[in-house]
């Protein structure tokens, strides 16, 4: 097996745990050809993110999601920044568009603004809260993508909703992430949500990343969109010259939401 980056390795560990539910460090070391010391560090970091529970000599998957990672707790963080980004994001939406909102707390702010607008839209989403927000606007048709509901989450995850997307042409996807870097693109910590988002990204006309400043330069377990997949990037703060240069070379339109 070729040498993997830490993020790739941790993604593989999650895939193994999703299959086996529990694993020992010794078995992981044999499977991945990585030292036990490195794997213990991986498992400790993954436990801090609420992805698994460490056990003596290994890890198990059957853990409740940590409170700081629940949807309600994430919705409280950087709320003003998310609202500012949402205001800029809806400027890209035209009457009679078909858009897709992911289940992020930033996309929820987009939904809250659209709820009050006199605009004809079709909105697909795997976010339960976003769907509930939009249901009372008679001009907006809401299609909820099916999937699995995890503990502490308000997102329907997994591949179950893809067949719906195959029948609809989506103009714009608005998506946030747990982290964004040049090398890894947009990353998230749930392998189920990453699986769905990868499929969504591949099927839409335009991908708009709605990322607050705290996530730039950070990364999570698995990537669902590379730099090449992103068409528009909206954040609430300026970015450094290196990132501006990368955006320019990849024809990514960048917007600062003030």
Question: For residue range 214-254, what is the model confidence (pLDDT) as tens digits?
Answer: 899 988 878 899 999 999 999 998 888 999 999 999 999 99
In the 8-state DSSP scheme, what is residue 219?
A: -
Residue 69 pLDDT: 54
Q: What is the reported pTM? A: 0.75
- Residue ranges for the chain with pLDDT beneath 70: 1-3, 62-78, 150-152
Architecture of domain 6-63: Orthogonal Bundle (1.10)
Using the CB atoms, write b or e for 74-90: b if 16+ within 10 Å: bbeebeebbbbbbebbb
- DSSP H helical ranges for the chain: 6-20, 25-32, 36-48, 71-76, 79-89, 105-114, 128-134, 162-165, 191-203, 241-249
Helical (H) or strand (E) element with 187: strand 185-188
* In the chain, where the domains are located: 6-63, 71-256
Buried b or exposed e, range 176-205, using 16+ CB within 10 angstroms: bbbbbbeebbbbbbbbbbbbbbbbbbeebe
Domain 71-256 has CATH 3.50.50.60: no
DSSP single-letter state for residue 21:
S
* Closest residue by Cα to residue 101 from 185, 138, 220, 112: 112
Q: From residue 232, give the alpha-carbon distance in Å to each of 123, 175, 210, 221.
A: 19, 11, 9, 23
3-state secondary structure of 57: coil
Q: Is the dihedral of CA 49, 50, 55, 60 positive or negative?
A: negative
Residue 40's pLDDT is what? Answer: 92
pLDDT score of 67: 45
Map tokens 């501006």 to a residue.
Answer: 244
Of the candidates 235, 94, 92, the one whose C-alpha atom is nearest the C-alpha of residue 177 is: 235
pLDDT value of position 78 = 65
């Amino acid at each position: 097996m070729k040498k993997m980056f830490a993020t790739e390795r941790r993604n593989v560990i999650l895939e193994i745990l999703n299959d086996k539910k529990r694993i020992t460090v010794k078995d992981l070391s044999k499977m991945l050809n990585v030292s036990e010391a490195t794997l213990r560090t991986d498992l400790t970091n993954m436990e801090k993110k609420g992805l698994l529970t460490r056990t003596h000599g290994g890890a198990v998957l059957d853990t409740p999601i940590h409170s700081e990672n629940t949807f309600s707790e994430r919705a409280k963080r950087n709320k003003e920044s998310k609202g500012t980004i949402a205001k800029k994001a809806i400027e890209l939406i035209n009457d009679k568009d078909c858009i897709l909102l992911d289940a992020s707390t930033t996309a929820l702010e987009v939904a809250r603004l659209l709820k009050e607008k006199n605009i004809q839209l079709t909105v697909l989403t795997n976010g339960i809260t976003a769907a509930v927000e939009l249901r009372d606007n008679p001009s907006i048709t809401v299609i909820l993508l099916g999937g699995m509901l995890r503990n502490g989450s308000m997102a329907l995850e997994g591949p179950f909703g893809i067949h719906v997307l195959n029948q609809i042409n989506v103009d714009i996807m608005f998506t946030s992430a747990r982290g964004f870097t040049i090398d890894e693109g947009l990353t998230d910590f749930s392998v189920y949500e990453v699986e769905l988002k990868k499929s969504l990204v591949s099927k839409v006309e335009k991908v708009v990343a709605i990322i607050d400043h705290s996530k730039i330069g950070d990364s999570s377990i698995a990537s669902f969109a590379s730099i090449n997949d992103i068409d528009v990037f909206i954040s609430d703060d300026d970015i450094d010259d290196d990132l501006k240069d990368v955006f320019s070379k990849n024809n990514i339109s960048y917007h600062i939401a003030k």
